[in-house]
Amino acid sequence: MNNSPFQLFLTNNSPRSARAVFRGLLILTLCFAFLAGSVHSASAYDLTKVKNKSFEKDTDGDGIPNAWAGIGLSAADKRVCNQSHAGSCSFKMVGIGGGGTKFLCQTALYSSGPVGIIATLSAWTKAKDLSGGGASWVYMYFQHTDGSTNIVGFLLTSGTSPWTYHEASGAALEAFDFMAICQYTDNFSGKFWVDDVKLTAVAP
């Protein structure tokens, strides 16, 4: 993973933030292994179609949007339809100031892919009173076939912000088994909303 965006994140952020990400990765590895095994087929490199990208559908009304999976979420972390950038809804995540890790994820690619696939993730976010020593961010996640990972994403800054566009691009540094999109918070206070998540990819 030489010069990977994940290494750059660890280099440019506090050890506390780095530890938070590592804890998250351990949880995600178990979660994604389960999700990948539960899917029958998918088209290779079909990364342009994020399911339920604006969180408009929640068929069972449990607050978790269709096609997404939550880890460590509370009742306050849910699809809401009083805040949005596109459509009527978004997903709200509330930080845990005293510590704790939360994820909302979607596995976007289940078939294997070669080294060099370049993917671009974009989303709109809004935040209120974000603060703390942890991290809140949105990212895409390559799970390489040898068990290593490459993560590319964008951190949400502290404070309050209106709906803001973010974009990040990165490549699979090795052949990969699957890819996922996540929004994540650890040891942060405040809350944020995510909407209109998109992912595109170009084969080498």
Q: Which residue has the tokens 């596109």?
A: 86
Please tell me the predicted confidence (pLDDT) of residue 104.
96
Which has the closest alpha carbon to 58: 48, 49, 68? 68
Q: What is the mean pLDDT of residues 143-168?
A: 93
Domain range spanning residue 161?
Answer: 5-202
Q: Does the pLDDT value for residue 21 go beyond 90?
A: no
pLDDT band at 24 (very low <50, low <70, confident <90, very high): low
pLDDT band at 128 (very low <50, low <70, confident <90, very high): very high
CA atoms of 190 and 60, how far apart (whole Å): 27
Provide the domain count of the chain: 1
16: phi > 0 → left, psi -120 to 50 → alpha, else beta; which?
A: alpha
Please tell me the predicted confidence (pLDDT) of residue 98.
66
Lowest mean pLDDT among 54-58, 95-99, 158-162: 95-99
For residues 174 and 5, the model is more confident at 174
Global confidence as pTM: 0.78
Q: What is the mean pLDDT of residues 2-29?
A: 42
Q: Does the pLDDT value for residue 112 go beyond 90?
A: no
**Are 72 and 28 in contact, with CB atoms under 8 Å apart?**
no
Q: What is the CATH number of the domain that holds 27?
A: 2.60.120.260
